[in-house]
Amino acid sequence: MDKKSILGFVLIGIILLVWLFWSSENQRKIMEQREAEQKQKQELTDTLAIDTDSNRQVIKDTISFTEESESDSIEILSDSRIKIGEIFYPHSIEYAQKHNREEKFITVSNSLAVMQFTNYGGTLREYTMTKFKTWDKLPLQLVDWRTGKELDLLFTSKDGVTINTRDLVFEADYENWKNVNLDVDSNFTLVYSVNLDSAGTQKIVKTYTFQKDSYEFNVKYELLNSGEWLSGSKYQIVWGSSLNLTEFRSDEEANFSEAFAYMGGELQTLDASEFDEEYIGDYNGNTEYVSSRNKYFGIFLIPNSRKADGSYLSGKKVNLPNEGFREEYSIGLKLDVKDDKRETFDLKVLLVPLDYQILKEYGKDLELTLRFPLDFIVRPIAQWLILPFFNFLHMFIPNFGLVIIVFAICLKLLLNPLMKKQMESMKKMGTLSPKMNEIREKYKDDPVKANQQIMKLYKEQDINPAGGCIPMLLQLPILYALFGVFRSTIELRQQPFVLWITDLSAPDIIATLPFKIPIFGIDSISGVALLMGVTMFFQQKMTMTDPKQKALIYVLPVMLTLLFFNFPSGLNLYYFMFNLLSIAQQWYTNKYKPAPPVDTTSKKPRKKTWMEKLQDRAEELQKERSKMHRKRR
């Protein structure tokens, strides 16, 4: 690499650093402006709320009066009564609370999950996984704590009001705070109902059934004589919010959050990637499931008896304290009433860790929601090579840190032919360095001529200048797939290795800085990333043959080490081990298999490449055309 090339790389690096700094400052200003706007909006909303409450109180004080006759005092229609309509108001939560009807809870548990339901809405209130914990070792409860109710019905009533059954009180035949253990009572069935008429001929029924040792449960919805109270013959089954955050960094978790609808063999995806924008996916047609996910866990609504008639997805991106953010999604199945006398629909509800094997066993392409960066390249390698081999090793090795080390050794052996070819090419290039320097010195005033002579030298010695790059390019898809897998595979979540490495899915922080490093925005130091950077330095030093590229020996490891500080320790452990094996291989090659001296005085006969043959043929055709052109003249 000549001085001009090095200068060019340095200038590019400076421009990149300036651009990154400018972008980060610009983004910071935008965030500050958004926060200020949101604060102003909140203040305005609070003011309007106060004014509205005051006006309502004045109205109540003005129109409330008591008659001396036997009639009771006139009841002013509440906002909830207007909102829910006359048909459903007697069954509303507000009405129940006024008449002292208590909320009743029930807990259903098996070996994998503890589920809590309530008769207020007849909904799932909590879903706690027993095999997992949050990042701070608390019980992992997935139902959004802000809403606390899921699996609602949504429809329009005959009086033109949108009804969400989360606002209704269902009848339930169990004692408050009852506990059901499915290991003892495996046939337990939970039934909720709302009778809309005194005869019991118009009603909404929800029936929950459960399984032992499973993350799933089933829900059957029955609408009796819906033509009397439901308008438009359409309704939705809704999971109205995202799953709870479970990891330390909300921004990292949000990067994996999405909503999905699987229809006609194709996965429709909704990604709320921008702030202050509402994302909608309204689809019609046979729907096999809808889903939403965070980094490691997902919710699936899977029709059983018949496919849904469509799906509805919505999402938005919101700010959180301490520069965090999350993506919030709502998913729903759209359904047409097939029989207004007795409409039924049942589905499977699956709240599950995003484990490839678990999702694959359902045979419904649920594993398609395990998406990776550059999905069309990474997915085949991850699903057919990396994950199966990774799980195979874990059958014999319980510690995932050791699994990663053995995996790195196996992959090194697999890629050894490519690495060997790369090293041989670099060694040949190194033996030509003196001759190349002579050519550059001889033609220092004519860089084009110098490059032509160097290419001629490569041809004479049967050396492909791209020979060292091609093996690396062939490895890139595998390395990128590894990056995607180690960042998101649940097998590594909260799995310890040794010493300070307590979670292979998160950075192994050994020190926290009192400031953030400019450009990179990091304030913590990863131990394994430092070790990886040291091995990269020695590897670069052993393989670098051009003195003019000496600066890269120091710059590249430092830049990548800073970048890897935020990466999971499992990924850094893999790269550290791979670099260590490469250093050993390079040391052995340099010591015991040195490159033979290149005789630059003789020209070796060699076969022409197909590109050279193609070039020669093109030159022959050009000569023939020139001859024909001269004859015509």
pLDDT in tens, 306-362: 999 999 999 999 998 887 889 999 999 999 999 989 999 999 999 999 998 899 999
Per residue in 52-95, pLDDT (tens digit) is 343 444 333 333 333 333 333 334 445 556 677 788 888 988 88
Nearest one of 304, 314, 313, 294 to 364, comparing CA atoms: 304
Structure confidence at residue 73 (pLDDT):
35
Q: Do 186 and 266 reside in the same domain of the chain?
A: yes
CA-to-CA dists, residue 136 to 76, 247, 577, angstroms: 49, 8, 29
- Residue 167 domain flag: yes
pTM of the model: 0.74
Tell me the H-state helices in 432-526. Answer: 433-442, 447-460, 469-488
Q: Which domain holds residue 37?
A: 22-53
Question: How many CA atoms lie within 13 Å of 240's alpha carbon, on the beta-carbon side?
Answer: 17
Confirm whether 626 is domain-assigned.
Answer: no
DSSP code for 32: H
10 Å CB burial of residue 360 (0-12, 13-18, 19+) is middle
Q: Is residue 479 part of a domain?
A: yes
Over residues 117-141, the mean pLDDT reads 93
Q: Is residue 177 part of a domain?
A: yes
Domain match, 265 and 174 both? yes
* Angstrom distance (rounded) from CA 427 to CA 430: 5
- Separation CA 378–CA 398 (nearest Å): 26
Q: What single-letter DSSP state applies at residue 443?
A: T
Q: How confident is the model at residue 279 (pLDDT cuts 50, 70, 90)?
A: very high
In this structure, the answer to whether residues 488 and 404 fall within a common structural domain is yes
- Low-confidence winner among 12-16, 65-69, 258-262, 304-308 (lowest mean pLDDT): 65-69
H or E stretch including 14?
A: helix 3-63
- Residue 474's pLDDT is 66
Residues 442 and 572 in one domain: yes
Mapping DSSP to helix (H, G, I), strand (E, B) and coil, where does residue 633 land?
coil
* Pair (294, 342) in one structural domain: yes
* Average pLDDT of the segment spanning 33-45: 46
Please tell me the predicted confidence (pLDDT) of residue 335: 95
Whether residue 495 is found in the same domain as residue 394: yes
Cα separation, 426 vs 590, in Å, equals 11
Among residues of the chain, what percentage have pLDDT more than 70? 74
pLDDT of residue 37: 46
- On whether the CB atoms of residues 85 and 196 are closer than 8 A, the answer is no
Who has greater pLDDT, 624 or 269?
269
Are 152 and 219 spatial neighbours (Cβ–Cβ below 8 Å)?
no
On whether both 411 and 526 belong to a single domain, the answer is: yes
Instruction: State phi, psi for 244 to the nearest 5 degrees.
Output: -60, 150
More confident: 226 or 541: 226
What Cα–Cα distance (Å) separates residue 326 from each residue in 150, 257, 628? 19, 8, 71
pLDDT one-digit tens code per residue, 206-215: 999 999 999 9
Q: Does the structure show a pLDDT above 90 at 281?
A: yes
Rounded percentage of the chain residues whose pLDDT exceeds 90: 34
CATH number of the domain where residue 319 is located: 2.70.98.90
3-class SS of residue 599: coil
Question: What's residue 82's pLDDT?
Answer: 67
In a domain, 82, yes or no: no
* pLDDT digit string, tens, across residues 509-540: 888 788 777 777 777 888 888 888 888 888 77
Residue 399 and residue 445 share a domain: yes
Question: Is 633 domain-assigned?
Answer: no
Pair 321, 418 in one domain? no
